[in-house]
Amino acid sequence: METNDTPTTPETTQQEFVLTEQEKTQLEEYKGDNSFIQSISEKYKEYGKLTPKQVVAFRNQGDKKPSLSECPNTQVKLHQECVFIDSKPNSGEGKQRKVKITVIRQKALCMFDEANNQYAWVPSKAVRVEKGFTETSDDVVEETGLFLQEWFTRNDDFWKESKPYTPNKSVESEVKSEPSIEIQNDDLPEISDNEEDDELPF
């Protein structure tokens, strides 16, 4: 006899598998390096919804650690706008990017370049901060410049494309088949409070 993979009981209704507005925003704007949440985010952006099994897996996984409000190494703040001086050799050394700090972890920062729709993770100890002033037609504005330390070598894929969210526009009467992500308990990363395990590539 066939059974439903996600059984519905009086305590577990289909309504519980509907994403909240906060969860939708998290999936639409996710720019972290957690490969599992990335895959769930891409499916949501493509189809505009998740299967009940995917919703359960997403909620069980979640982000391991909340973002800090200030970086303990650089003192830059969450959502702070800075000027990043890109120092990749042979690729426009000294190129300036306007970035916003979107995530702060104990050991790393995530910068978002809205103009190019790209984001990058970098170890916070690899960032050097310098304060400067820019004169405009109306005022003199203080700016925070971010530089990479000389010992840090960034890869060619340092900047990653941020896939835009496109709502599902299919008509309700039109049934669109969609592949589902098979979730096996053994495939899910273990959630740990260990400060050393943040799934960042450094």
Instruction: Indicate whether 145 pLDDT > 70.
Output: yes
| pLDDT, tens digit (0-9, with 9 covering 90-100), for 27-74 | 888 877 676 787 888 888 888 888 888 888 777 775 456 678 999 999
Q: Domain-by-domain residue ranges, the chain?
A: 14-64+164-185, 81-154
Cα-flanking dihedrals φ and ψ of residue 83, to 5°? -110, 115
State the average pLDDT over residues 169-177. 45
* pLDDT given for residue 100 in this prediction: 94
Instruction: Indicate whether 187 pLDDT > 50.
Output: no
Q: Which residues are within 8 A (CB) of 84 and not within 5 positions of it... i.e. 6 or more apart?
A: 96, 97, 98, 99, 111, 113, 145, 146
Determine the Cα–Cα distance for residues 18 and 7; give it in Å rounded to an integer. Answer: 15
Instruction: Indicate whether 11 pLDDT > 70.
Output: no
Q: Which residues are within 8 A (CB) of 17 and not within 5 positions of it... i.e. 6 or more apart?
A: 6, 52, 55, 56
State the average pLDDT over residues 135-141. 74
Q: What does the mean pLDDT of the chain come to?
A: 74
* pLDDT given for residue 166 in this prediction: 54
| pLDDT, tens digit (0-9, with 9 covering 90-100), for 93-131 | 568 899 999 989 888 999 999 999 999 999 999 999 998
